[in-house]
Structure 1
Amino acid sequence: MKNLNLIFLMLISSIFVYGKGSEEPFHKSVPYVDMDKFSGDWYVIALIPTIFEKDASNGIENYSIDDKGFIRVKYTYNKGGKDKVMYQKGWIYNTQTNAEWRVRPLWPLKLPYFILELDDNYSYTVIGTNNYDYLWIMARTPQIDHELLDDIINRAVDRGYDRDKIVLMNQDGV
């Protein structure tokens, strides 16, 4: 019962937290995302973690498009020495660019996700939320160049993300 109350409180607080965000120009996303190229595995390199991702390692997001056009997200990670999997469902909100989504981690939430950066070769991406609370820097490989990562983090901070909240994710198990 305690766990149900905790989940309920998290859901309610998330609704208020995500409700405070705005769709301001800061969220200028990339001009276009080719969903076929974007699909597949992305290693989480750095992030502002959700409650589920705190102290996690070896995070890999896998995106695919199902036959109805929904984005299927499979997030695998390790937490406390245990491998875990979380499934989410997404919708392309801006169909002209494919760079703004709504993602449902838990019902009834539909959270705005913005693809803020995407390398021309689809080798790294940056996804953020509309309230600056969550950020994911991901790559097709488990590590990226440190100088490139510093540049990406600096651009995220320029957008309004808190540098002190951005953490590196350990990718030692891959």
Structure 2
Amino acid sequence: MKLIITILAVSALAGCLGMPEKVKPVNQFELPKYLGKWYEVARLDHSFERGLSQVTAEYQLKDDGGVKVINRGFSEKENEWSEALGKAYFVEDESTGYLKVSFFGPFYGSYVIFEMDQENYQYAFVSGPDTDFLWLLSRTPDISDELRNQFITSAQDKGFDTRKLIFVEH
């Protein structure tokens, strides 16, 4: 059921390839360094992840140069894992952290990496098409207080309502 909800929610984002006014994607992005498993540490609530804990995203290179996206999370209420498979492609050039992601057919939504550890690729701040979509991803499920505060401050400066952040249990 969660997978169906995910598909419907992402479908509602059809054509949503913009980004919040104050959000700018990172430059000098290197996709090979970004591939692999990420833990969702924080997010703004939305229907397609509501109630999920232990959320991860895994990114794999596709033969066509795009990215295979595997999102997983555990629903305690339903006592089961939920998984959504998608695909992502660069909107601009491959050195700009601005992709479009789809979990259903031709419908895409924005995936904008606006801040990250560009040396080691250990964390990323990600926005959707507007200030209703925000994620903090990390290579580990636990982060420092310093990084948490950095994320909150950066998100507030860009117009996100950080009072509504959910910090994901792992």
Offset of residue 136 of structure 1:
1.0
Unpaired segments ≥5 residues, structure 2:
none
* Residue in 2 that maps onto 1:95: 93
Higher relative helix content? 1
Q: Is the 8 A contact 1:30 1:99 kept in 2?
A: yes
Structure exhibiting the larger radius of gyration computed from Cα positions:
1
**1:33 and 2:29 correspond:** yes
Equivalent positions of 1:35-114 (< 5 A) are: 35-79=31-75, 80=77, 81-114=79-112
- Secondary structure in 1 aligned to 2:96? coil
The count of residues paired between Structure 1 and Structure 2 equals 164
CA distance in 1, matches of 2:111, 2:101: 7
What are the ranges of 5 or more consecutive residues in structure 1 without an aligned counterpart? Answer: none
CA deviations on 1:96-123 (whole Å, 9 max, x unpaired) are 5231000012234210111011112111
How many Å apart are 1:158 and its aligned residue? 0.8
Q: What root-mean-square deviation, in Å, do the aligned CA atoms of Structure 1 and Structure 2 show?
A: 2.4
After superposition, the C-alpha distances for 1:67-99 in whole angstroms (9 at most, x for unaligned) are: 111111001110132112110111111215231
Answer whether contact 2:13 2:109 (CA < 8 A) is retained.
no
Residues 39, 57 of structure 2: 8 Å contact kept: yes
Deviates most, 110-119 or 76-85: 76-85
1:14, CA displacement in angstroms? 3.8
TM-score (norm 2): 0.85
